[in-house]
Structure 1
Amino acid sequence: MRKFVFNKEKYGFPLLMDLHRLEGNPNLYFDSKPHITDFFEIIIFEKSNGIIELNGHILDIENNSFFFVCPFQKKSCKISLSDIKGFHLVFKNDFLADFFDDKLFAYRLQYFYNAQHPQYLKLQNSDYVTIQTVLNEVVNDIENFQNDSPHILRSLLYFLLSKLNRLYSKHYNVSDNTLSNSIIYRFKELLEKHIRNLHAVDEYCNLLRVKRNKLNVVTKEHTGCTSKEFIDNRLHQEIKMELYYSDKTIAEIAHALNFSDPNNLTRFFKKKEGVSPSAYRKKHQIDRK
């Protein structure tokens, strides 16, 4: 699978983020084959058409639509480049952690690392204009980089990411609080690191050094799910990605994801998805042709 790597020296000086307009970009390219990146992306379509496959969701591109992609999440794009208009914001995880002096900042944003809802948002025109104004300011400051640009970019990006978090949270009816108990953000971080091996609430409680009831309370407040549902949703997503993008057998997927038996994976998946893993894979293989 192709991997896109961030180029921090693009402008002749180290910069772990970039933002450019889609229109008029001679290097604009969207890969129609499954691929990954080693950086975060926010792809913004003011005007275009096509689809993006992301996290098991086939999402239509509409005017004023946003796609939020985390490092190493698999996606593919079928996008018309004619008459395209919008923005492409990319940044490394270190950029957010260092820029905002918060290693958990990405986990505070509901549109990243979300297994409950699509990492997608369509804005009303009035909201889009607000975001567009900030995006244009960021582009202009990168193109005219000065000594104080890091400070300006920090404030603009903090506003942009936080405003989008509010809009996303309102749309999907989840908490927009980015200053909740840090347990939930560490829980999200641990899920990304250990979901292929650890599936039990108590295992995460041990890593977090919190009681089960406490973890359940903070998870419910932030996501609307219990801690068990939160883990199961993320595990369900991981299985779908294996079925969708790999050629592994069900038994091989079960082994890779630490299920004691392939039948246990099948029962878990059918309960979540409503169809067997084999039926899901067959349907999506047909859909992708």
Structure 2
Amino acid sequence: MVFERANGTIELNGHLLEVAENSFFFICPFQKKSCKISLSGVKGFHLVFQNDFLSDFFDDKLFAYRLQYFYNYQYPQYLQLVNEDYNVIRFALDEIIAEIKNYQNDSSHILRSLLYFSLSKLNRLYSKCYNISPNIQSNSIIYKFKELLELNIRTLHSVTDYCNLLHITRHQMNAMVKEHTGHTSKEIINNRLLQEVKTELRYSDKTIAEIAHSLKFSEPNNLTRFFRKMEGVSPSKYKDNYQNDRN
């Protein structure tokens, strides 16, 4: 979601983010979001990719995982650009729209180039903003780890689980993840698991025991201890606070 001009807020991944001039919001499949945006004077783009479009279009099934702003639970999936940088992205998006409206035999090549440029340029700007690696050609194991995390977070919570799936040692895993993200493998897993628990607390009517069972915690107390350590409050208190704020 690209806002050239707008006022309001978007809640995404537990972050309450301001919708302002030249702001970008990067939303992954099935991610819950809540928007409070004034429709008066709003101007921007809503760029939506159908399932597997990016992986098929670029012949790289891990392409979406290579971009730091997708599937990132350590930093807000949000970026605000200065006018100079925004105008570069805006030009590419305008060219994409013009090419689609005037589709020709070679349009797919032009669209692929424009889209790759836009997404990669945004990745570089996002990485600079949050001081993380902009490298989208790192060891593919990193991106496979991100993919496996999305597929298995509800059942697998340990570094060893993912090392076994990737057929690498714990030391190899930690070294690669630390270099690419600035965080340890365990921190990445815990942050992703925390978001899954928060989603259940906000958007379901399940009890703490039911959430613990669905996320494969051995018992509810283990979920409570995990959540309190990560968030500083109990899951029940967090749910009460969220519902009160929402109301």
TM (norm. structure 2) is 0.98
| Equivalent in the alignment of 2:48 | 90
Instruction: For residue 76 of structure 1, report the CA deviation from its aligned partner.
Output: 2.0
| Equivalent in the alignment of 2:243 | 285
More helix by share: 2
1:236-266 alpha-carbon deviations (Å, 9 max, x no partner): 1111111111111111111010000111111
Which aligned segments of 4 or more residues in structure 1 are displaced greater than 2 angstroms? none
Alignment of 1:194-273 (within 5 A): 194-273=152-231
Letter in 1 for 2:162: Y
Identity across the alignment (%): 70
Partner SS state of residue 69, structure 1 = coil
Structure 1 counterpart of 2:23, from 62, 65, 69: 65
Structure 1 counterpart of 2:97, from 131, 134, 139: 139
The whole-number CA distance in structure 1 between the counterparts of 2:121 and 2:114 is: 10
| Equivalent in the alignment of 2:13 | 55
TM (norm. structure 1) is 0.84
Structure 1: gaps spanning 5 or more residues = 1-42
Letter in 2 for 1:232: N
1:93–1:106 CA contact under 8 A, matched in 2: no
Partner SS state of residue 91, structure 1 = coil
Partner SS state of residue 136, structure 2 = coil
1:193-222 alpha-carbon deviations (Å, 9 max, x no partner): 000000011110010001110000000011
Partner SS state of residue 3, structure 2 = strand
The whole-number CA distance in structure 1 between the counterparts of 2:35 and 2:43 is: 16
Partner SS state of residue 26, structure 2 = strand
When structure 1 is superposed on structure 2, of 195-204 and 143-152 the one drifting more is 143-152
The whole-number CA distance in structure 1 between the counterparts of 2:201 and 2:20 is: 27
| Equivalent in the alignment of 2:141 | 183
| Equivalent in the alignment of 2:60 | 102
Structure 1 counterpart of 2:84, from 119, 126, 133: 126
Letter in 2 for 1:283: N
Partner SS state of residue 90, structure 1 = coil
1:56–1:244 CA contact under 8 A, matched in 2: no
1:6-61 alpha-carbon deviations (Å, 9 max, x no partner): xxxxxxxxxxxxxxxxxxxxxxxxxxxxxxxxxxxxx0001011111212222110
Partner SS state of residue 244, structure 1 = helix
Structure 2: gaps spanning 5 or more residues = none
Partner SS state of residue 45, structure 1 = strand
Structure 2 counterpart of 1:111, from 57, 69, 88: 69
Letter in 2 for 1:97: S
Partner SS state of residue 89, structure 1 = coil
